[in-house]
Structure 1
Amino acid sequence: MTKRRLIRVAKEAYLHAGEYAFAGRRNKKRDFRQAWIVRISEAVKKQGINYSTFIKNLKNAKITLDRKILAILVLDHPAVFQAIVDKVKSFK
Structure 2
Amino acid sequence: MVSADRDRRKQKRNFRSLWITRINGAIREMKLFFNYSKWIHHLYTAQLLINRKMLAQMARFNPQCLFMVSKKIAYSEL
Relative contact order, higher structure (CA 8 A, sep 6+): 2
Instruction: Give the gaps of 5 or more residues in structure 1.
Output: 1-17
The Cα shift of 1:75 comes to: 1.2
Q: CA RMSD in A?
A: 1.3
TM-score normalised to the size of structure 2?
A: 0.85
Percentage of pairs with the same residue:
32
Residues in 1 aligned to 2:29 and 2:38: alpha-carbon distance in whole angstroms: 14
The one-letter code of the counterpart of 1:22 is: D
Q: Is contact 2:43-2:73 (8 Å) kept?
A: yes
1:71 to 46, 56, 60: 56
Structure 1 consecutive aligned stretches of length 4 or more whose deviation exceeds 6 Å = none
For the residue of structure 2 that corresponds to 1:54, the secondary structure is helix
Kept in 1: contact 2:26–2:63 (CA 8 A): no
Q: How does 1:1-92 map to 2 (within 5 A)?
A: 18-48=1-31, 49=33, 50-92=35-77
Q: Output one character per residue of 1:24-71: Cα deviation in whole Å (capped at 9) or x when no partner.
A: 011111110010001101111122211111101101111010101100
- In 2, Cα distance between equivalents of 1:45 and 1:77: 15
Change (3 A) 1:91 1:47: farther
Which ranges of structure 2 fall in alignment gaps of 5 or more residues? none
